[in-house]
Amino acid sequence: MKIRIRTLAIIVLLAGMLGVVFVYGGLYNVAATEQHTEPMYRLLDYAMQRSVKRRTASMEVPDLKQQQRLRNGLVLYRRNCVQCHGAPGVSPDAFGMGMLPVPANLVATGREWEPAAMFWVVKHGIRMSGMPAWQYRMSDEEIWDVVAFVKQLTTLSPGEYAALSRQTPDASGQPAVPAAPSAAVPDISLGNAQAGARALQQHLCVTCHLIPGITGASRHVGPPLNGIATRTYIAGILPNTPGNLIHWIRNPTSVDPLSAMPNLGVSEQDARDMAAYLYTLKDIE
Ligand code: HEC
Ligand code: HEC
Residue closest via CA to ligand 1's atom 7 equals: 131
Residue closest via CA to ligand 2's atom 22 equals: 235
Q: What is the pLDDT of residue 187?
A: 59
Q: What is the pLDDT of residue 176?
A: 37
- CATH code of the region 193-278: 2.60.40.420
Q: Where are the domains of the chain?
A: 38-167, 193-278
CA of 103 to the centre of ligand 1 (A): 5
Q: What is the pLDDT of residue 177?
A: 39
Average pLDDT score over residue span 201-225: 85
Average pLDDT, the chain: 88
pLDDT higher than threshold 80 for residue 133: yes
Average pLDDT score over residue span 202-225: 85
Beta carbons of 242 and 190 less than 8 angstroms apart: yes
- CATH code of the region 38-167: 1.10.760.10
Q: What residues have CB less than 8 Å from 123, skipping those under 6 apart? A: 133, 134, 135, 140, 143
CA of 105 to the centre of ligand 1 (A): 9
The pocket around ligand 1, CB under 6 angstroms, is made up of 80-81, 83-85, 96, 99, 101, 103-104, 106, 109, 118, 121-122, 126, 129-132, 134, 146, 150
Beta carbons of 215 and 207 less than 8 angstroms apart: no
User: Which pTM value belongs to this model?
Assistant: 0.78
Percent of the chain with pLDDT over 70: 93
214-273 confidence digits (pLDDT tens):
887 767 888 999 999 999 999 999 999 999 999 999 999 888 888 888 888 888 999 999
